[in-house]
Amino acid sequence: MDERADTKDVQIIKMGAWSGGPGCHGGCGVEVHVKDGRVIKVEGDPDHPFLQGRTCPRVLATTQVMYHPDRLKYPLKRAGERGEGKWTRISWAEAYDTIYARMKEIKEKYGPESIVFGQGTGRDAGGPILLLAYAYGSPNWTLLGLSGISCFTPRLAGMYVTEGDFTFMDAAQFSPLRYEEPEWTPPKCLIVWGREPVGGCSDHYATGHWMVDCMKRGTKLIVVDPRCTWIASRADHWLQLRPATDGALALGMLHIIINEGLYDKTFVEKWIYGFEELKKRVQEYPPDRVSYITWIPKEKIIDAARLYAKSKPAAIQWGVPVDMNAEATSVIQAITSLWCVTGNLDIPGGNVICRGPFGVSIYPYSTEELTAIYGKDFVQKLSEKRIGADRYPLVKNFRGWALSDVVLEQMETGKPYPIKGMWIQTNNFLACAAGEPRRHFEAIRKLDFNVVVDLFMTPTAQAIADIVLPAGTFPEKDSVFSTGIPLNAIQKVVEVEECKSDWEINFELARRFNPEIVHWNNVREMLTERIRPSGLTFDELSEQVWALPPKGHPSGSAPYRRYEKGLLRPDGKPGFRTPTGKIEVYSTTLESYGLDPLPYFEEPPESPLRTPELWKEFPLILMTGRRSPVLFHSEHRQIPWLREIDPDPIVEIHPETARRLGIEDGEWVWIEGRRGRAKRKAKLTLIVHPRMVMAPHGWWLPEKEGEDHSYGVWDLNVNQLIPMGYQSKSGFGGGPYKCMLCKIYKV
Residue 3: pLDDT band (50, 70, 90) is very low
Read off the pLDDT of residues 717-732 as tens digits, 9 standing for 90 and up: 999 999 999 999 999 9
Residue 126: pLDDT band (50, 70, 90) is confident
pLDDT for 200 equals 67
| Residue among 693, 680, 687 at smallest CA distance from 650 | 680
DSSP line for 338-387: HHHHTT-BSSTTSEEE---GGG--SS--SHHHHHHHH-HHHHHHHHTT-T
Q: What is the largest CA-CA distance in the chain?
A: 72
State the fold for domain 76-143+366-481+496-547. Rossmann fold (3.40.50)
- Report the pLDDT averaged over residues 268-294: 98
**Among the four given CATH numbers 3.90.870.20, 2.20.25.90, 2.40.40.20, 1.10.357.10, the one describing domain 612-722:** 2.40.40.20
Is the Cβ–Cβ distance between 600 and 333 less than 8 Å? no
Residue 316: pLDDT over 50: yes
Identify which has the larger pLDDT, 216 or 552: 216
- DSSP 8-class letter at 177: T
Identify which has the larger pLDDT, 134 or 486: 134
269, exposed or middle or buried, with CB in 10 Å at 0-12, 13-18, 19+? exposed
User: Which residues have a Cβ under 8 Å from the Cβ of 266 and sit 6 or more positions away?
Assistant: 343
- DSSP 8-class letter at 468: E
Read off the pLDDT of residues 431-487 as tens digits, 9 standing for 90 and up: 999 999 999 999 999 999 999 999 999 999 999 999 999 999 999 999 998 877 789
Q: Report the alpha-carbon distance of residue 556 to residue 351 in Å, rounded.
A: 14
Residue 706: pLDDT over 70: no
Question: Phi and psi for 286 in degrees, rounded to 5?
Answer: -70, 160
pLDDT for 203 equals 56
Strand partners, 42: 32
Residue 549: pLDDT over 90: no
Report the 10 Å Cβ neighbour count for 529: 11
The percent of residues in the chain predicted with pLDDT above 70, rounded, is 98
User: Which residues have a Cβ under 8 Å from the Cβ of 479 and sit 6 or more positions away?
Assistant: 18, 124, 127, 362, 490, 501, 503, 527
Residue 701: pLDDT over 60: yes
| Residue among 389, 370, 425 at smallest CA distance from 144 | 425
pLDDT for 6 equals 62
DSSP line for 187-250: -SEEEEES--TTTS--TTSS-HHHHHHHHHTT-EEEEE-SS--TTGGG-SEEE-PPTT-HHHHH
The percent of residues in the chain predicted with pLDDT above 90, rounded, is 83
User: Strand 11-17 to strand 28-35: parallel, antiparallel, or no bridges (unpaired)?
Assistant: antiparallel
- Report the pLDDT averaged over residues 267-277: 98
Q: Which CATH architecture has domain 153-356+563-592?
A: 3-Layer(aba) Sandwich (3.40)
Geometric angle at alpha carbon 126, from 124 and 132, rounded to 5°: 115
- Report the pLDDT averaged over residues 543-562: 84
User: Which residues have a Cβ under 8 Å from the Cβ of 663 and sit 6 or more positions away?
Assistant: 653, 669, 682, 684, 744, 745, 746
Total residue length of the chain: 747
Read off the pLDDT of residues 153-195 as tens digits, 9 standing for 90 and up: 999 999 999 999 999 899 988 888 889 999 999 999 999 999 9
Q: Report the alpha-carbon distance of residue 248 to residue 608 in Å, rounded.
A: 15
- Report the pLDDT averaged over residues 580-598: 98
- Report the pLDDT averaged over residues 263-290: 98
Residue 222: pLDDT over 80: yes
Please state the domain extents for the chain.
11-66, 76-143+366-481+496-547, 153-356+563-592, 612-722
CA dist 172 → 38, 83, 105, 177, 340 (Å): 36, 50, 52, 8, 20
CA 96 to chain centre: 30
DSSP line for 724-739: S----TTSS----TT-
pLDDT for 67 equals 98
Do you find a cis peptide bond into 313, omega within 30 degrees of 0? Answer: yes
- Report the pLDDT averaged over residues 555-581: 91
**Identity at 73, one-letter amino acid code:** K
* Class of the domain covering 11-66: alpha beta
515, exposed or middle or buried, with CB in 10 Å at 0-12, 13-18, 19+? exposed
| Residue among 456, 475, 477 at smallest CA distance from 465 | 456
pLDDT for 205 equals 54
- Lowest-confidence segment of 345-349, 454-458, 538-542, 550-554 by average pLDDT: 550-554
- Report the pLDDT averaged over residues 338-363: 92
- Report the pLDDT averaged over residues 558-576: 92
Mean pLDDT of the residues in the chain: 94
pLDDT for 325 equals 98
Q: Report the alpha-carbon distance of residue 729 to residue 393 in Å, rounded.
A: 9
Is the Cβ–Cβ distance between 354 and 274 less than 8 Å? no
User: Which residues have a Cβ under 8 Å from the Cβ of 362 and sit 6 or more positions away?
Assistant: 124, 126, 127, 479, 480, 481, 482, 530
- Report the pLDDT averaged over residues 205-228: 90
pTM of the model: 0.96
pLDDT for 726 equals 97
Residue 526: pLDDT over 90: yes
